[in-house]
Amino acid sequence: MRTTTIDHRHHEHLLAIALLWLAVGGTLLLTTLVPAHTALLGWAPLLWLFAAPLALLLILEPGLPRALLTLKRTRRH
């Protein structure tokens, strides 16, 4: 069986791309330059501008939500 090695630079690049994609997509949706739902595309803009990069982030960093919740809890105390 062949073991795979993780290239941390590749992982960091994918993470940066996903964060940038999520930021740009969220900005486009919040400023309503691209509506979340259209008659022609349906919910596709919301999926590709928000849900897809969010899913990619959760795949790349599965512990991220727990880490953010822990960070938020420690700031309250």
pLDDT of residue 25: 92
Confidence of residue 4 (pLDDT cuts 50, 70, 90): low
Closest CA to 61 of 3, 9, 14, 7: 14
* Domain-wise residue ranges, the chain: 13-76
pLDDT in tens, 13-67: 888 999 999 999 999 999 988 898 989 999 999 999 999 999 999 988 888 878 8
d(CA 27, CA 45): 12
> Which residue is associated with the tokens 């259209």?
38
- pLDDT of 3 > 70? The answer is no
pLDDT of residue 71: 82
pTM: 0.73
